[in-house]
């Protein structure tokens, strides 16, 4: 995955990472739910966190590889 261009990571974060956009990004609602204790979350809610959070984790990994790991 480290050979993918930056645009790939940005597109997946803006599309899958934030979809659906209205009334608020889905991952944002799930993160607020988790911060509030995650009470009442079922398997589908956890799956949504993984699905919509993966692009952001990949973007963070790209940042790490490009800027932190190269300095070592």
Instruction: Give residue-wise pLDDT tens across range 36-65.
Output: 998 999 999 999 999 999 999 999 999 998
Give Cα separations from 54 to 12, 40, 47 (angstroms). Answer: 9, 22, 11
Output the pTM of the full model. 0.82
Name the strand (E) or helix (H) holding 32. Answer: helix 26-35
Q: Residue 42 has what pLDDT?
A: 94
Give me the sign of the Cα torsion angle 46, 21, 33, 8.
positive
Q: Residue 2 has what pLDDT?
A: 57
d(CA 38, CA 56): 20
- All residues at 6 or more sequence positions from 61 whose CB lies less than 8 Å from its CB, including other chains: 1, 2
33 has a pLDDT exceeding 80? yes
Domain ranges of the chain: 6-71
């Amino acid at each position: 995955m480290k050979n993918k261009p930056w645009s790939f990571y940005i597109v997946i974060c803006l599309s899958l990472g934030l979809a659906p956009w209205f009334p608020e990004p889905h991952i944002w609602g799930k993160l607020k739910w988790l911060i509030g204790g995650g009470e009442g979350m079922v398997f589908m809610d956890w799956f949504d966190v993984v699905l919509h959070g993966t692009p952001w984790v990949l973007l963070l990994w790209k940042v790490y590889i490009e800027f932190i790991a190269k300095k070592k």
